[in-house]
Chains A and B, each alone.
Chain A
Amino acid sequence: MKNRSLIVQRVSRWLAPFIFIYGLQVILYGHLSPGGGFPGGVILASAFILILLSRGKEEAGRRLPLSRAGRFDNTGALVFLAVGLLGLVLGGSFLVNFLQRLFPGRPFSLLSSGTIPINNLAIGLKIWGGIFLAVLFLSVLRVGGDPDRGLKTMEEE
C-alpha cells in the first residue's frame, strides 16, 4: 500500500463506479447493440482490477471477496447451462430460444429476444468473477512469494 500516488488512488476511486455501470450497460443491451455478456463481464471485472492496481489487492479483495467471485463464476456457468438444458426440454434442441415464442416483446426494445438477455447476464456474471479471480491470483503469485499465505490472508479478511 505504500508508495501509491494520491492522484491515481483518487481518480481510480471516481472512475471505478462509472466503469462498472458501463459494463452493466454493455451486458443489458447486449442483444440490441454491439457488446454482450463477455465484453461486459470483462468491463465489470476491469472496474475491480483498477481498484486492485491502484489501491492494492487487500482493498480489491474487500470489495469483491474471493469466495463471492468464485460463486459468481459458478452461478453464471450454471445459469447458462440451465437455459441450454431448458431449451432441450422445452424446445427440442440444446440452447433453443424457448422464451421467444412465449414473450415475443417488441423487437429492438430492452425486454425482447427471449433467452438471449438471460444468457448475457449469466455470461457476464461468470466472466466478471472469472477474470477478476484470474488477475487476483496473478497478483498473489509472485516470484519467491508464498502463494498459500497470500491467499489465506485474503480469505481471512
Chain B
Amino acid sequence: MTALLPLTVALPLGAAFVLPLLPRRPRRAGDLLAGLISGALLVLAGLLSGRAGVYEIGGWRAPLGINLALDGFSAPVLLLAATVGLAAVLFSSAHLDTYTGRNRYWALLMLMTAGINGTILSGDIFNRFVFVEIAVISSYILVGFSGRGRALAAAIRYGLLGAAAANFTLLGVAVLYALHGTVNIAHLAGSVPAAGTALPGPEILFAALLMLIGFGYKSAAAPLHIWQPDALAAAPAPVAAFLAGALIPAAGVYALARTLFTVFGPAEAFGWMLLFPGLLSMIFGALAAERRKDPRVFLSYQGICQVGYILTGLGAAMVLAARGEERAAGLAAAGAVFHLLNYGAAAALLFLAGGTAEPPGRPSRWSALAGLAGAGSIAGIPPLGGFFSKLMIVAALWFGGFPLLAAAAAGTAVLAPVSFYRRREEFLPRPAGHAGRTPPAMAAALILLTALVLGLSLAPLPGLRGRLLGPARRAVLDREAYAAYLEPGEGQRP
C-alpha cells in the first residue's frame, strides 16, 4: 500500500502543470480535473490511513536517496488535509464565478495541495522545507487572488514576512547538516542525542530555535501570528478554509512537532520553548478575538487560541517525556494531535459556512447548522471532539504537575463557548428563509466537513481509541521507532 505514497504528491503536481495548458472552454474542464484529483487524494488518504511504511524514491536507500514516510502521526494529518482539500475544491467550484483566471486558481490550489502532502510525508528536513515553501508561496498568491486592495496588502505582508521566516528554517537545516552530515529525519533521530532534563548543547539549541521561529510563523503562533488574521479575512472563503484547515496544521504545527520531537528528541528546554508561545497564543488569541468586529478576524484569533492549545499540549508532552513521565506525556501528546485534527476540520468548516453568505450566496438553514457544528467543536462543547481534546490537554497538564497552566487552559476553555455564543449572529451565515438555497457543490463541501467534525468526535470512544489516538501518541513520542525505519529489513516497522 505504501507504493501509493508518491501519488499523493505527483497527482496534484501533475494537475497543477496541466491546468494552465487547458483551453479556456469548456469553462468547467479545470473544475472537473481539480475535483477528480482531490477526490482521488481523499481515496488515497483513506486507503493509507492506519498504515505505516517508508517509500524510497527511485529505489535509492537513504542517505543516497530521499524517502517518504507514513506513520501514526502523518496518516491522520494527511487524511485531514485531503478532506479539507476536497471540501475547498468543491466549494470553490461554486464560489469562483466572481473571479477571473479560473484555471490559474486551480493550478495554484493544486500546487498548494502537492506542497502540503509533501510536507506531511517527506522523510528529510530539506525536502520538507522545499515542500513547505511550495505550499506557502502558492498560498501567498491565493490570499491576494481577488486583487482587491485589502487582499493584496495582506498577501504582500504574509509573503514578505514568510520569506524571512523561511530563511530561519533553512538556516536551521544547514546547522543540522553541518553538525551531523545528514538531512534524513530517521538518521538525525539516530544521531542527535536527546538532552532529557539537561540543557542541550548551544548549537542544537540554536538550530531548534531557528526551526521554532520558521515553523512557528507558519503555524501562526503568537507572537508570530500577525499575518494570519489579515490573510484569513481577505482571502477567498475556500482559500481561508484551506489555509486554516490544512496549511496551518500541516506546514506549521505538524512540521514543528515532527522536527522537535523526532529530530531533536525530548528535552525540557524544547518543552518550555513550545509552552511559552503556546500559552501566549492561547490567552492572547482568546482575548484579542473579543475585540474584533469582522467575523472572519474573530475566527482567526480563535484559531490562534486553538494553535496555542496544541502547542501547550506538545510542550507539556515534551517536558514530561524528558522527565520520564510516560503516561502524562502520552496523554498530552494524544490530546495535542487530536486537537490539531479537531481544529483543522472545525476551522475549515466555519470559514466555508461563513462563505455561503458571501455574495451572491443565499445561505439555507442547513449551512448555518453546519457552521454551528464547527463552532461547537472549536468552542469545546461536550459531545464534540474539541471538548475531549481540550480536556485531555488540561488533564495532562494537571496530572503532569503544571496546576497553573492547567488552570489557565481550563479557564480559556470555559470562556470560549461564551465568546462564541455572544458572536453567533456574526460568524454564522444568516439563513435567507425560504429563498435560501445553497448550491449543491457548496452543500457537499459542508456535509463532508461536518461529517469529519462529527466523526472525529467519536475518536475518544474506548473501541476506537486504539485506531487513531494510540498510534498518534506512539508516533509523536517514540523516536527510536522512527530512527529504526531505515535499518535494513525493518523498513516497514513503525
Contacts and interface: CB of A to CB of B under 8 A. Distances in A.
Interface string A64-80: 00000011001001100
A12 B58 CA distance: 42
A78 B56 contact: no
Nearest to A71: B21
B14 A78 contact: yes
B24 to A, nearest CB: 13
Contacts of B21: 71, 74
A84 interface: yes
Contact of B57 (A71, A85, A94): A94
B6 A88 contact: yes
B50 interface: no
A8 to B, nearest CB: 32
A64 B276 CA distance: 53
Q: Mostly helix, strand, loop or mixed at chain A's interface?
A: helix
Interface string B3-34: 10011001001100110110000000000000
A97 interface: yes
B20 A70 contact: yes
B14 A81 contact: yes
Nearest to A88: B6
A93 B56 CA distance: 8
Interface residues of A, number: 17
A74 B17 contact: yes
A16 interface: no
Contacts of B56: 93
B20 A93 contact: no
Contact of A78 (B18, B57, B59): B18
A91 B18 contact: no
A76 B7 CA distance: 19
A150 interface: no
A78 B110 CA distance: 14
Contacts of B14: 78, 81, 85
B20 A87 contact: no
A95 interface: yes
Contacts of B18: 74, 78
A92 interface: yes
Nearest to B107: A74
A95 B17 contact: no
Contacts of A92: 3, 59
A109 B194 CA distance: 48
B17 A93 contact: no
Given A84-B10, A94-B6, A94-B10, A77 B58 contact: no
A53 B424 CA distance: 57
A96 interface: yes
A94 B13 CA distance: 14
B58 A96 contact: yes
Given A81-B13, A94-B6, A74 B20 contact: yes
B13 A93 contact: no
A2 to B, nearest CB: 32
B10 A93 contact: no
A97 B57 CA distance: 11
Contacts of B55: 93-94
A95 B20 contact: no
B59 A77 contact: no
B54 to A, nearest CB: 12
A114 to B, nearest CB: 11
A91 B17 contact: no
A124 to B, nearest CB: 16
Contacts of B3: 88, 92-93
Interface string B56-93: 11110000000000000000000000000000000000
Nearest to B66: A95
30 contacts: A70-B20, A74-B18, A74-B21, A77-B13, A77-B17, A78-B14, A78-B17, A78-B18, A81-B10, A81-B13, A81-B14, A81-B17, A84-B6, A84-B10, A85-B10, A85-B14, A87-B58, A88-B6, A92-B3, A93-B3, A93-B55, A93-B58, A94-B6, A94-B10, A94-B55, A94-B57, A94-B58, A95-B57, A96-B58, A97-B58
Interface of B: 3, 6-7, 10, 13-14, 17-18, 20-21, 55-59
Given A81-B13, A93-B57, 13 more contacts: A70-B20, A71-B21, A74-B18, A78-B17, A81-B17, A84-B10, A92-B3, A92-B59, A93-B58, A94-B57, A94-B58, A96-B58, A97-B58
